[in-house]
Amino acid sequence: MNKNELIAKVAKDTRLTRGEAGEAIEATIENIMRALRQGDDVRLIGFGVFTVTRRKAGEARNPQTGKAIRLPASKRAKFKAGKLLKEAVNG
């Protein structure tokens, strides 16, 4: 399912217009990203938890040349599925 299909499904299930459903989904995604940017976790009980993890700087090798490449430290978004989501996926 892509974003447009999700918007259509939410619009149908909630009896909102596609535009209203699209705005709601966009606002939800933006607020999740904003919280993660600020270092906050986003916990959706039963669905899962969005967190930010830090990755240390390190080195890698270019597989074609074998040359060492310096990888800077970075942050990664991480998602851990909640109990209800795991149960829904596993039947």
In percent, the amount of the chain with pLDDT more than 70 equals 100
For the domain made up of 43-91, the CATH class stated in words is few secondary structures
Which residue ranges make up each domain of the chain? 1-40, 43-91
pLDDT at 91: 86
**What is the C-alpha separation between 86 and 91, in angstroms, rounded?**
9
Structure confidence by residue, pLDDT tens digits, 35-55: 999 999 999 999 999 999 999
pTM above 0.85, yes or no: no
**Mean pLDDT rounded to a whole number for the chain:** 96
Rounded to whole angstroms, how far apart are CA atoms 60 and 75? 17
